[in-house]
Amino acid sequence: MAKALFGLAFTEAATDFLDQMPSGKLRAQVAKKAKTLIIEPKPSGCKKLIGMNHGDEEVWRIRAGDYRILYVVRDIEVIVLDIGHRKDIYK
């Protein structure tokens, strides 16, 4: 049985961060990790962020090395809200 594919969208904040990342290799690794959400929007290792909501939607995060990808899951779409270094993303 084939897995359902989700749509994937990035906010302006997320794309701006990717555009400003210094290393092309690192940027590709973070983008690749975000794209895995198309197949499995809540992979093992993801975490629901307590006390952080986007409207009435729960915010989830996955790790990509020292970077964190914050996102929400809608019916058939994953929206990447923000991407940032682990020391800065939750501020």
Domains and CATH numbers, the chain: 7-85 (3.30.2310.20)
Digit-coded pLDDT (tens) for 35-60: 999 999 999 999 999 998 888 999 99
Q: Please, are residues 67 and 34 in contact by the beta-carbon 8 Å criterion?
A: no
| Per-residue pLDDT, 2 | 53
Per-residue pLDDT band for 25 (boundaries 50, 70, 90) equals: confident
Whole-model pTM: value is 0.90
| Per-residue pLDDT, 34 | 94
CA 61/CA 55 separation, integer angstroms: 16
| Per-residue pLDDT, 11 | 96
Mean pLDDT of the chain: 91
- Dump strand ranges (E) for 1-91: 7-10, 47-54, 57-64, 67-73, 77-85
